[in-house]
Chains A and B, each alone.
Chain A
Amino acid sequence: QKEVEQDPGPLSVPEGAIVSLNCTYSNSAFQYFMWYRQYSRKGPELLMYTYSSGNKEDGRFTAQVDKSSKYISLFIRDSQPSDSATYLCAMSASGGSNYKLTFGKGTLLTVNP
């Protein structure tokens, strides 16, 4: 079993839909949780960063972390065609090795106009 599991999709939704993306993990040492967006042939760019459990909102994006279930989610409201990309969850442990990110496989999202 991989440390981080992410359904690769692909996911196709109409413009304006609410999108839910999820990851599960097995390493209870993970304390820092991130969502990256990656456009085709580009590097990942950080969207959301959360420490430990709870919710964080930034515009149309909401990140949720449930450490008891080892489950994290990203919600995108009012999705736009420009949101079409691969979404990667990433996480790291606390302490001396928290620079080392473990990524999920990524979910390919297409938002259709």
Chain B
Amino acid sequence: GAGVSQTPSNKVTEKGKYVELRCDPISGHTALYWYRQSLGQGPEFLIYFQGTGAADDSGLPNDRFFAVRPEGSVSTLKIQRTERGDSAVYLCASSSRDRGTLHFGNGTRLTVT
């Protein structure tokens, strides 16, 4: 079956612009996660959804970052007033139940110029 799908695969934007990154989890997976991977680093936790609600958003770096999952399936990570330091690969993962094995997508590579 299809894995976790993330679009776009690459996004180049100018400093100060707004971006949206989309994640389509594996069908039927109730838990969804966003991680950020900077160059040469491991992924860092951003936010965790169980169903439609954000169960833990403690990893979001500041209030420029926001994520939604309105129908409990597709999720969108939104970044306002982008900064060069936001450049990274944004990874989405889903699991079939709370605390199950995480299945990662291939990420969106965001470059802020």
Using a CB–CB cutoff of 8 Å, the interface residues on chain A facing chain B are 4, 6, 8, 41-46, 49, 88, 90, 97-106
Contact = CB atoms under 8 A, between A and B. Distances in A.
A101 B104 contact: no
B31 interface: yes
Interface residues of B, number: 26
B101 to A, nearest CB: 6
Contacts of B25: none
Closest 8 CB pairs of A and B: A103-B42, A43-B104, A43-B106, A44-B104, A100-B45, A99-B99, A103-B43, A43-B105
Interface of B: 4, 31, 33, 35, 40-45, 48, 56, 59, 91, 93, 95, 98-99, 101-107, 109
A101 B106 contact: no
A8 B91 CA distance: 20
B34 to A, nearest CB: 12
A88 B33 contact: no
B104 A105 contact: no
